[in-house]
Amino acid sequence: MVPLGVLLVAVAAVAHAGWNVCAKRVSDGGAGFVWLYKIVGSLLVLPVGLVLLFREGLVDLPAVLLAVAVGALFQLAYYVLLQLGYAKSDLSVIYPLSSGMAPLFSVTAAVVLLGERPGPLGLVGVLVVVVGVVIISAYRSTGDSTRTAKIYGVAFGTLIGLANTAATLWDKQAVSGLGLSPFLFYWGISVFEVLLLAPVALRDRPRLRRLWTHNRREVLLVGVLAPTAYVIVLFALRIAPVSVIAPAKEFSVVMALVGAWLFLKEKELARRFVGALVVTGGVLMLTYS
């Protein structure tokens, strides 16, 4: 079953990179774009969510609602920061940086909050990630990106990685503590995301209509691909060990850079690809430390 698990993660990596390429194509979409594709995503998982809710029930409704609401806030921070970042910098800068920063922050949180002490391999992994970040963000006057765009890319990549870490740690704690199905928890978060973002998105309804009219394809693609990538990884984790799945997930960085080259025509990709590989190597070291 391990080969099937790796294959599923590879498909999820393509889906994850794909929806990020679509989001970058609507880099000026802001909260309105996020709200529209969140509606699509929540409707997509609605039938399964209702079935699971009916089958499993909710033992402690107030605690579940609180956990879902806080999780939705963390997830919204991730998605909105991602959209704002894509308005300021290249996908080939932000995507690998945010992917590398998330495990880096997770290790830091484990050390500070849980008192864990990473081994020598983990410490080397931290340094390798930092080196990869420097390679990706290095400025070249002959390149296509300005120095300001690079600075924005590093800043938003760091913030997105931090938001992703907070969301992941909260989700893990909430699912483990409440005994909820991960899919049911994800569905609840999707519904809360739509509700929480609605007041912001609906303040400019003409803009929402323009986004839907001109970017309907991207809204639908992101709305379908984002939950699809998440659910596929959940299934993969059920049939293959984490030690196999975690490294395979880093394939999404490669696919994101391929997408940036093919569909977004971004430049300086050779150096950024090297930097992304270095970041990925550091992440793998952190994974096995």
> Are 219 and 212 spatial neighbours (Cβ–Cβ below 8 Å)?
yes
* Phi, psi dihedrals of residue 132, rounded to the nearest 5°: -60, -40
Distance of CA 147 to the CA centre of its chain: 25
* pLDDT at residue number 225: 95
Give 10-residue mean pLDDT values along the chain (289 residues): 78 93 92 96 86 72 85 94 93 87 74 72 80 72 65 90 86 75 82 94 94 96 92 76 65 86 84 83 74
Residue-level pLDDT at 245: 65
The whole-number pLDDT of residue 175 equals 74
Write down the pLDDT at residue 141. 47
